[in-house]
């Protein structure tokens, strides 16, 4: 997919001379959009056969040598033509914008025509793209500090879990697991690892922020043995808040002390605030309930684990950023009545949502929209096209990287 609309494409690709000039310029300005082997040379391979779907249109082809001297041909499409020539961007852009919010297929059919299967296929097609390679473009680097958590979803009366990886305000991983044990989560989070390594073979994350679920930490340590697990301090506060809300003045005192611990400037200050909280608990023990004492004791016992964040100043200390993405994910799941098909279909759906979410425009009332059009724009500090769907389609041309489906038991 090249960053030209049909009229620009027709001018640039009509003759061999103009096509070669255009491709050479793309190799200089946007090499990330073309197969890596093209940088070593390519040959023009004529035009495709006239497309019946596109009213007889033809598209430019190139031929390159890849691994083991294998010759491979690629077709270059304009950015306003959908993959597999299933339509034009102008025909589906508004419908796919609504799909991001969980609007059902039958509603899209009622408003935009076609049929339910058409909108289902159009949406799920995005799930075949590499999430990391599509989102991380140009000179942006895959973040080494991550957040990870599982979103609970319903399927056939059971619980499935969406292993979600977030960084730099973008969803970089979303894979469905039928179990919440270490094995199932390792396979689900392993999709993120595979896609990150496809983009950068030397990729090694430094930290990942989790809510403390043992299976999550075990899965990440198995996938990346050198990674540091950062416990989310917000989850500790939420547990304390749920136990202390009815304590009146005591709750205000506890809340202030817990956040004083969080805002400590260094490890020594952190532990000093923890000891202060322990002394206060000992003094007020008679007026506190068992649940409150357990929650506060748990925070104090885990203090050394929370202190690991001081060894990684750039790491995420709370899951706020991840929660901001899980909230729209929850609304999208509820709007679609969760999952109905098999595990692979569910994964395609959630991966498609992740890309539509990353590239979908910000609400105009949001302050960030004054500077950036979407989370992906903010991540990469640039866009290929002003139209969000055209920008997504161009970005999906990620040097041949594609999602590799793993066969898993439901």
Q: What is the pTM of this model?
A: 0.90
Cα angle, residue 320 at apex, residues 372 and 345 outer, rounded to 5°: 80
Q: What pLDDT is recorded for position 410?
A: 41
* Relative orientation angle of helices 116-124 and 343-359, to the nearest 10 degrees: 70
Give yes or no for residue 220 having a pLDDT over 90: yes
Domain parsing of the chain, residue ranges = 6-78, 131-231+319-395, 233-311
How many alpha carbons lie under 13 Å from residue 352 in its C-beta half-sphere?
A: 25
Higher pLDDT, 336 or 17: 17
| Homologous superfamily (CATH) for 131-231+319-395 | Ribonuclease H-like superfamily/Ribonuclease H (3.30.420.10)
- So what's the pLDDT on residue 290? 86
For residue range 55-88, list pLDDT tens digits in order.
888 999 999 877 667 888 888 999 999 988 888 9
Model confidence at 130: pLDDT above 50: yes
- Measured CA to CA, the distance from residue 408 to residue 34 in angstroms comes to 32
Q: Which of 229, 237, 24 is nearest to 146 (CA)?
A: 229
Which residues make beta-bridge pairs with 22?
none
What are 233-251's pLDDT values in tens digits? 998 888 888 888 777 778 8
Q: Is the dihedral of CA 254, 260, 262, 268 positive or negative?
A: negative
Percent of the chain with pLDDT over 90: 61
| Mean per-residue pLDDT, 320-330 | 93
Listed ranges 22-36, 285-299, 353-367, 388-402; the one with the highest mean pLDDT: 353-367
pLDDT-derived band of residue 409, with 50, 70 and 90 as boundaries? very low
Average pLDDT, the chain: 90
pLDDT at 123 over 70: yes
For the stretch 297-324, pLDDT in tens is: 989 999 998 999 999 999 999 999 999 9
pLDDT tier at 399 (50, 70, 90 boundaries)? low
């Amino acid at each position: 997919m090249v960053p030209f609309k049909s009229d620009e494409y027709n001018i640039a690709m009509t003759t061999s001379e103009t096509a070669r000039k255009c491709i050479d310029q793309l190799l200089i300005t946007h090499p990330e959009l073309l197969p890596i082997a093209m940088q070593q040379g390519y040959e023009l391979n004529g035009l495709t056969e006239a497309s019946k779907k596109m009213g007889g249109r033809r598209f430019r082809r190139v031929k390159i040598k890849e691994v083991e001297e294998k010759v491979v041909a690629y077709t270059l499409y304009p950015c306003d033509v959908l993959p597999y020539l299933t339509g034009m961007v102008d025909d589906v852009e508004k419908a796919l914008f609504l799909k991001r919010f969980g609007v059902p297929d039958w509603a899209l059919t009622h408003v935009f025509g076609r049929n339910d299967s058409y909108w289902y296929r159009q949406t799920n097609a995005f799930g075949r793209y590499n999430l990391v390679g599509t989102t991380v473009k140009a000179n942006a680097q895959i973040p080494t500090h991550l957040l990870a958590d599982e979103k609970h979803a319903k399927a056939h009366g059971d619980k499935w879990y969406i292993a979600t990886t977030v960084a730099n305000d973008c969803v970089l991983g979303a894979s469905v697991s039928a179990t919440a044990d270490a094995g199932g989560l390792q396979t689900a989070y392993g999709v993120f690892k595979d896609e990150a390594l496809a983009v950068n073979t030397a990729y090694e994350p430094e930290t990942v922020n989790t809510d403390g679920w043992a299976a999550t930490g075990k899965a990440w340590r198995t996938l990346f043995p050198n990674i540091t697990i950062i416990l989310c301090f917000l989850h500790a506060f939420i547990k304390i808040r749920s136990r202390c809300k009815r304590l009146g003045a005591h709750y205000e005192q506890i809340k202030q002390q817990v956040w004083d611990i969080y805002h400590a400037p260094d490890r020594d200050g952190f532990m000093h605030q923890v000891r202060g909280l322990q002394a206060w608990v000992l003094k007020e023990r008679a007026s506190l309930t068992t649940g409150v004492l357990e929650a506060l004791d748990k925070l104090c016992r885990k203090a050394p684990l929370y202190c690991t964040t001081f060894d990684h100043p750039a790491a995420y200390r709370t899951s706020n950023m991840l929660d901001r993405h899980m909230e729209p994910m929850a609304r999208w799941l509820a709007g679609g009545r969760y999952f109905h098909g098999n595990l692979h279909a569910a994964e395609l759906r959630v991966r498609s949502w992740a890309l539509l979410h990353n590239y979908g425009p910000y609400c105009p009332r949001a302050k960030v929209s004054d500077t950036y059009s979407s989370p992906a724009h903010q991540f990469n500090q640039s866009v290929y096209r002003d139209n969000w769907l055209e920008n997504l389609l161009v970005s999906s041309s990620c040097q041949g990287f594609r999602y590799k489906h793993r066969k898993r038991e439901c």
